[in-house]
Amino acid sequence: MAKHQTPLLDQLETGPWPSFVSDVKQEAAHRAANPDGLDYQIPVGCADDLLGILELSFKDKETHWKHGGIVGVFGYGGGVIGRYCDQPEMFPGVAHFHTVRVNQPAGKYYTTEYLRGIMDIWDLRGSGLTNMHGSTGDIVLLGTTTAQLEEVFHDLSHKMRTDLGGSGGNLRTPADCLGSSRCEFACYDTQDLCHTLTTDYQDELHRPAFPYKFKFKFDGCPNGCVCSIARSDFSVIGTWKDDIRIDQDRVKGYVAGEFKAGGGSHAGRDWGKFDIVQEVVDRCPTGCMSYDGAKLSIDNANCTRCMHCINTMPAALKIGKETGASILLGAKAPILDGAQMSSLLVPFVVVEKPYDEIKEVIENIWDWWMEEGKNRERVGETMKRLSFQKLLEVTNIKAMPQHVKEPRSNPYIFFKEDEVPGGFAHDEAAYRQRHMR
């Protein structure tokens, strides 16, 4: 028998897709039965009360979670998100129901032994509910009490040899795609860069000192499997400088139907004979491709690395050999003045250990942002407020055509004194002498 009646939540179980409501109900029943005989360290009915308070929120059309102050573990300023409900007498199991973020490994590679170890800790000391993974990338452990935070942290760090992720005004847990471990399109080792910056910037990750959150995300190629261009303040996207490699014999093989387009994706229906002009050439965003019936040609100078042709014909087209990455800055969700995508800052950088060139860009940005950024202002908003030109100055990057977002609409040009021959000072008498009537 359910502890709380949840008619509104029950509707979420009626659709064709899996429902988190069913998952929470399953966990509530499991905790009530306690088949493993665990000595639960937080209220047994926490999952039941979670359903109850969510049902009340749906009924009242307002949240019943409140911000009850800062909680965390000793020595860390982030990694725990405090959650308190405003109806503790009605729902004692979630009177305090804090979230713990766990730093995921690069590429999110796990062993079953590791995952079982995490869940053994969380079943005992938390609600047993997780989010795999949060939007930043962490393992998210949903719901425990204040008294259990240090216990959870001790077990995670000593038994599992893992760490908390980031929260608050600090570096959030860096995230990356699978990179060269699984993907032929990877232009650099995303996992190594992600792991290196995670370990090198531990202080920034655990001790908030920034105006607001700052996210690293690493895409191995322009396909953007972690969507860094839209979801991170500092996006590193793999690219290449030379030409796309073309195997003309395999191009003919695609035209003849010897290879399946898109590696066999979208194979659930008959799409008809592969048409290279319609499906590849005409879909090039810059029109830099042509096919004369025998040979595929690419004007690489006008290629924007959209990856469509390579994704469609992976057996015939390959990324270039001179690989590296582009660095972009400033993506964010719509908080103050709407969502924005990252802006290109460094068109190409060679990505090699010890990554000093990338770190220099990062630390110049941080120095500027911590000095000029307002409270709760993302770096993209600071960039927008103080100008992209100022960002180029503080990062010591020269302006180049790739930085142009759109044609200028302001007819005025403001020069700095050191850009004007002789500076702003001038001899009035000499000027008048030159311009006498």
Reported as a single tens digit per residue, the pLDDT across 357-413 is 999 999 999 999 999 999 999 999 999 999 999 999 999 999 999 999 888 888 888
The residue type of 241 is K
Determine phi and psi for 251, rounding to 5 degrees: -60, -45
76-98 burial code (b ≥16 CB/10 A, e <16): bbbbbbbbbbebeeebebbbbbb
Question: CA 365 to CA 153: how far, in whole Å?
Answer: 32
Q: Angle CA(9)–CA(10)–CA(15) in degrees, nearest 5? A: 105
The whole-angstrom distance between residue 358's C-alpha and the CA centroid of its chain comes to 18
What structural domains does the chain harbor? 7-160 (3.30.70.2500), 171-241+322-403 (3.30.413.10), 245-318 (3.30.70.20)
Whether 434 has a pLDDT exceeding 90, the answer reads no
Q: Does residue 69 surpass a pLDDT of 70?
A: no
Confidence of residue 418 (pLDDT cuts 50, 70, 90): confident
pTM of the predicted structure, to 2 decimals = 0.91
Whose tokens are 């003919």? That residue is 252
pLDDT computed for residue 419 by the predictor:
86
Q: What is the pLDDT of residue 68?
A: 59
Of the pLDDT bands very low, low, confident and very high (cuts 50, 70, 90), residue 179 is: very high
154 three-class SS: helix
Query: What CA–CA distance (Å, rounded) separates 258 from 247?
Result: 14
- What gap in Å lies between CA 169 and CA 198, rounded to an integer? 16
* 3-class DSSP assignment, residue 314: coil
The structure tokens listed for 111 are 């062993």
Structure tokens at 324: 């590296």
